[in-house]
Amino acid sequence: MQPILNSLDVVLQDGFMYSILAMGYYISYSILDFPDLTVEGTVLSGGVVFGLLVKAGVNPYIAVLAAFAAGFLFGGVTGILNVKLKIRPLLCGILVSTALISVNLVCTIVGNGGDFKGDGLSTIDLGRSVPTLTRIFPASELPSDFYGFNMKKLAVFFAMALIFKIITDVFLKTKCGLLLRAAGDNPNYVTMLAKNQGTSKILGLAIGNAYAAVSGALIVQSRGNVNQGIGIGMVVIGLASLIIGLSVFGKVKFMKPTTMVIGGSIIYQASLGIAALLGVPTVYNKIIMAALFTAALIVSGKLKKKRGVERD
Amino acid sequence: MIDFENVYKSFRGSVDETKLFEDFSFHVETGSFVSIIGSNGSGKTTLLNLVCGSVMPDSGKILFDGKDYTAVPEYKRSKTIGRVHQDPKNGTCPELTIVENMALADNKGKRYGFTPAVNKKRIDYYKHLVSECGMGLENRMNVKVGSLSGGQRQALALVIANMTDNKLLVLDEHTAALDPKTSENIMAFTDRIVKGKGITTLMVTHNLRYALEYGDRIVMMHEGKIVLDKAGEEKKALEIDDVLGLFNSISIECGN
């Protein structure tokens, strides 16, 4: 029983942690229909910003906001490449995430006291004394072992997912948010409203990557360290969680898409957790991830077809 | 209201260049309702695109109320232009509800900030607006626009294009994709709106009868030139056979 509870603990933590990334994809992929690869870089950027600031003694909640800002900025660059320079969506993501490999590495090394030539430490370790999200009030008051559940981490990640869910829901109901939905739905409509459709697109990509960076900050919080491999596989985790969520819960009435995405993220992590419980070595994780993603795509494609037939 | 001064516009194909407009000049009076007819490729839609800024001229000037608008981008011109396209999908957002579509349009020309998009107090006003088209849209305010019929969407697009005080209404074959009955309804609804607001209107249509029946000026185009331009009493005296005769003679010239 205990291994199952422990593994459930990890599933929930990771589910909430990555759900913010998936909510970002809800904005850039579902709403704007932009397959954004930038997150491979921005997740790590968020982690680096968070790790460096927290290690320097900055309040970790402020460090999360700083990670958000960094992601917002880099996502905006992707948007500008696409809108102003007319570069294809996939290439924009590849360009920015490739450039970010250097940016993230240099920031990590310099933040660690190394030099701009790249000589120095490329990892950040949040040692036992660093005040992270779980080590300051209010999470610090919670038990770290409650029937196998780490309540500190669980509460922090759940609260973060909930906050971003609420922010997203409220944002999408504002004038700015509705205009963003219109930009994804029918860009002509935005032009007819005398607004520049490109601006909405740039904003959407900035928000999507800001969310990805917050996920990155939480990954660093969870692992207690930053290494340069954190971003790998994030596109698949984010998109698969999103698509699983929307296709599994798509028919549930009155359920907000953001809630579906959190559900999807938990289902995705649970599948990985089950594989681990069954004794599949973690080196096979990425294959399982890709297989899950493929399955999700097939299922959601079939559902879409079904709905399309019904509508016509 | 609108002036085209010596406009040139050509389109580059893969092998050749088609010169559509050469030294083209055109004037529209404020408050007039102009119907534009012509065969495919005659330049009707390009004329509308030049007015709205979706297509930019190679040279020449386009003036609005005497001001040079030639270099003003499409989205900025939209502040004073309402446009309805041929495709009903074009004038609305299918994933948004009627209320959400209208709330967005209601805010045209203002800032799209972080205040709630839908103002509940305005919903009765929106209902009143859509009830005038007589399609029962007022009872489906929270339905996604994508699930409405083409005619209903086009009626909604017309209402939306006229929600704010525009100076110009541009109709690009806006009844062409509809069945004959719905097409009649939409055309009559269009006429009520145009007459009610007294708004300057440019309407491209393939329906010669509409062109004669509605509006106070008729323009026929052919290969980028105006071949017929009648307004007022002269237009009223035109019979459908006169127009059809001219239309056919042009088409025969082209070998159609």
Predicted ipTM of the assembly: 0.86
Q: What is the DSSP letter of A56?
A: T
Name the packing angle between helices B150-161 and B98-106 (round to 10°): 20
Chain B: residue whose CA lies nearest to A196? B75
Tokens of A288: 């399982």
With contacts defined as CB-CB under 8 Å, which chain B residues touch A171?
Answer: 114
Q: Encode A89-117: b = buried (16+ Cβ within 10 Å), e = exposed.
A: beebbbbbbeebeebbebbbbebbeeeee
pLDDT at B17 (0 to 100): 79
pLDDT at res. A310: 39
Residue B27: φ, ψ to 5° = -135, 135
- Position B256 confidence tier, pLDDT thresholds 50, 70, 90: very low
pLDDT of residue A78: 96
For residues A120 and A107, what is the distance between their CA atoms, to the nearest angstrom?
A: 11
Angle between helices A175-185 and A197-223 (to 10 degrees): 110
Interface residue of B49, B89, B102, B112 to substitute, partner A, most A CBs within 10 Å: B112
Minimum-distance CB partner of B114 among A176, A185, A188: A176
What is the residue-averaged pLDDT of chain B? 88
Give residue A17's pLDDT band: very low, low, confident or very high (50, 70, 90).
very high
Tell me what pLDDT residue A270 has: 93
Report the pLDDT value the prediction gives residue A307, as an integer from 0 to 100: 56
CB B1 within 8 A of CB B200: yes
Q: Are strands B217-222 and B33-38 parallel, antiparallel or unpaired?
A: parallel
pLDDT digit string (tens) for B219-240? 998 888 888 888 888 877 787 7
Return the higher-pLDDT residue of B251 and A224. Answer: A224
The minimum CA-CA distance between A36 and chain B, rounded to whole Å, is 21
Stretch (H or E) spanning B88:
none
- Mean pLDDT along residues A217-222: 94
Residue in chain B closest to A190 (alpha carbons) equals B75
Q: What angle do CA A149, A155, A160 make, to 5 degrees?
A: 140
User: For A67-76, A161-170, B41-50, which range has the lowest pLDDT when averaged over its residues?
Assistant: B41-50
**Which of B93, B98, B114 to probe by mutation at the A interface, max A CB count within 10 Å?**
B93
Find the CB nearest A173 among B79, B92, B117.
B117
Banded model confidence at residue B252, pLDDT cuts 50, 70, 90: low
Cβ pair B43, B224 in contact under 8 A: yes
Residue A311 has pLDDT above 50, yes or no: no
Residues in chain A with CB shorter than 8 Å from the CB of B156 are: none
Give the orientation angle of helix A60-83 with respect to helix A197-223, to 10 degrees. 140
Q: What pLDDT sits at residue A79?
A: 96
Cα B241 to chain centroid, rounded = 25
Compare all CA atoms of chain B with the CA of A167 and give the residue at the minimum distance. Answer: B114
Q: For residue range B95-148, list pLDDT tens digits in order.
A: 999 999 999 999 998 889 999 999 999 999 999 999 988 888 999 999 999 999
Q: pLDDT per residue over B155-203, tens digit each?
A: 999 999 998 888 999 999 999 888 888 899 899 999 999 998 899 999 9
Look-up: residue for tokens 């970002």?
Answer: A24
pLDDT of A137-153, one tens digit each? 787 777 777 777 888 88
What ranges do the domains of chain A cover?
2-228
Query: Which positions in chain B touch A204 (Cβ < 8 Å)?
Result: none
Q: Which residue has the higher pLDDT, A166 or A227?
A: A166
pLDDT cut 90: percent of chain A above it:
58
Per-residue pLDDT, A301:
77
Q: What is the DSSP string of A214-240?
A: HHHHHHHHHHSEE-TTTTTTHHHHHHH
- H-helix or E-strand containing B56? none
**What pLDDT is attached to residue B251?**
67
- Whether pLDDT at A159 is above 50: yes
CB contact under 8 A, B115 and A193: no
Give all strands of the β-sheet with B168-172 in edge-to-edge order: B81-84, B168-172, B200-204, B33-38, B217-222, B225-231
- Please give the residue of chain A at the shortest CA–CA distance from B84: A192
Note whether A218 and A237 are within 8 A (CB).
no
A176 → closest Cβ in B76, B109, B113: B113
Which of A167, A168, A174, A178 has the highest number of chain B CBs within 10 A, making it the mutation to test binding with B? A178
How confident is the model at residue A127, as a pLDDT? 78
Closest to A121 in 3D by CA, of A129, A136, A131, A110: A110
Q: Which domains does chain B have, with CATH numbers?
A: 28-55+75-253 (3.40.50.300)
Contacts of A194 in chain B (CB under 8 A): 75-76, 78-79, 108-109
Residue A308's Cβ-count burial label (10 Å; 0-12, 13-18, 19+) is: exposed
Mean pLDDT of B145-156: 91
